[in-house]
Amino acid sequence: MIITDFLERNARLYGQDVALVELNPTEERDKGVTWRDFNLIESSASAPYRRELTWRDFDRRANRFANLLLSRGVPRGTKVGILLMNCLEWLPLYFGVLKAGCIAVPMNFRYSGEEIRYCLDLADVEILIFGPEFVTRVTPIVPDLDRVKTFFYVGKDAPSYAEDCWNLMAFCSSNPPPVELTEDDYAAIYFSSGTTGFPKAILHDHRGLTASCRTEQHHHHQSRDDVFLCIPPLYHTGAKMHWFGSLLSGSRAVLLRGVKPQWILRAVTEEKCTIVWLLVPWTQDLLDAIEAGKIDLSHYYLDQWRLMHIGAQPVPPSLIARWKKVFPHHQYDTNYGLSESLGPGCVHLGIKNIHKVGAIGKAGFLWETRIADEKGNDVKPGDVGELCVKGPGVMKCYYKNPEATAEVLRGEWLYTGDMAREDEDGFIYLVDRKKDVIISGGENLYPVQIEDFLRAHDKIKDVAVIGLPDARLGEIAAAIIEIKEGQTCTEEEINAFCEGMPRYKRPRKIIFDKVPRNPTGKIEKPVLRQKYCKGSLVEVQITG
């Protein structure tokens, strides 16, 4: 089977059952009333901010979009960009792209206009689907998008250069498109980046997507009775591949557009969620609100919530200890992964191994692992080396970048760039990242991009950006700035200058100091980390 077969099976077997729910708390009703004051079933059916989609309608919408593409003569293998916030339309459009034999290219909704243009060009995207949140970013770059010939708009009042996607789909057949697919067909391109800050286009096939379904369901045992609360963005391999467990089991998923602790608990209560995937900042905020008395758990119905798992950034063991004090009955899990391995699951802690919190776990279902030295030889247990993984989710290549592909793919093994060790029980611990990427609140920050921006300031002689530990975000970006001789500069001045870059990229700490460089001119970031991280070697857990 390929991944679109699972959707068609669910439509056939569970057609009238709800597949997806979208909750938008910004439009919630009766803010002063707690959820226990309502009949849960009736209230969820009448909530004005709630939308839902059955498995049958999910499949029909995917078929309509696939047939729309075919009616335009779009050939197999065409790259179709998806630039949407989490919404009820996201996954049907994604599956419609796949059903048409095209390649889905999910886009980070945090990208600036220039980053959107770069990634569209890099992946040879010819069709772009986008929503109203992106009009101000897409419109200015349209004249520069020579390859993109078609713009499909999801929302009201489409701009002049775009077509109303949903109106067009209404005139298309809801029957399965006449396209035969195999596991070897290319399915999707996701974006990643190394320390240079320039994204790489990661090509995956249908076999990898299908294997991700099986890996996720094997790890978390999703059944038809489970309800998965998905908060992270669907462009992220982690969010989508965790949802794949719901796809395989034919169970419901809830897309929550908001991260406030009260909203998370209300969603769990009203939708009777059993599995929740969180990031460290949201977990921290939720616990802080409970411990400060800002949230009364008696106002919520949480008995059915069985599993909380965290991904996308380092997870402090102390955070999980706090969580278990508040929710002692919860199972806990984490997975390690990267976009090159189709997100989480290639290394897996396991719900039975909470005593090993701090480790990322062992090889996941259908995966193998090894830890290698610089020559590619396996290191001894306890020694540090580079973590390597092998499995069906390993990327086919970096699209149009054979040199970068050769650096990380050696035979069937993917060299992750993360340094790790294995304990006496076979559990893997990450001790550092080989790359300089900063993971802050689940988002990758690329120091070179921030450094290049700051160097445009006329008072800055040199700058280095490193990650510093942070209890809530995992890491924050710190800019060590060397001022030109004879100049004076303040933190406020730098912060004002940084308003010219996206908010999530701005350094959260400014340090005025000399930037050390080695004889070959490279910044000695380990020296800076040792100085500003107080010289401690902290083992970190990176999850997907």
Name the architecture of domain 3-331.
3-Layer(aba) Sandwich (3.40)
The ranges of the chain annotated as CATH 3.30.300.30 are 442-532
**What is the CB-side half-sphere exposure of residue 64 using CA atoms within 13 A?**
18
Q: How far apart are CA 18 and CA 251, in angstroms?
A: 8
Burial of 128-147, coded b for 16+ CB within 10 Å and e otherwise, reads bbbbeebbebbeebbeebee
* Phi, psi of 192, deg, nearest 5: -140, -175
CATH code given to domain 442-532? 3.30.300.30
What's the pLDDT at 318? 79
* pLDDT in the model for residue 314: 59
- 73's CB contacts (< 8 A; 6+ apart) are none
pLDDT at 414: 97
Per-residue pLDDT tens for 270-300? 999 999 999 877 888 899 899 889 999 999 9
pLDDT at 434: 67
Residues of the chain with CATH 2.30.38.10: 340-433
pLDDT value at residue 269: 97
Structure confidence at residue 432 (pLDDT): 60
Domain 340-433 CATH class label: mainly beta
What pLDDT was estimated at residue 137? 97
Residue whose pair of structure tokens reads 């806990």 in the numeric block? 332
pLDDT at position 230 is 95
| Cβ proximity of 389 and 396 under 8 Å | no
Tell me if residue 231 falls in helix, strand or coil. Answer: coil
Q: What is the mean pLDDT of each run of 10 residues along the chain (544 residues)?
A: 96 98 72 38 48 97 98 97 96 98 95 93 98 97 96 96 96 97 97 67 97 95 97 89 96 95 96 93 88 93 95 74 94 92 90 90 96 94 93 96 96 91 92 74 81 87 89 91 90 94 92 77 78 55 36
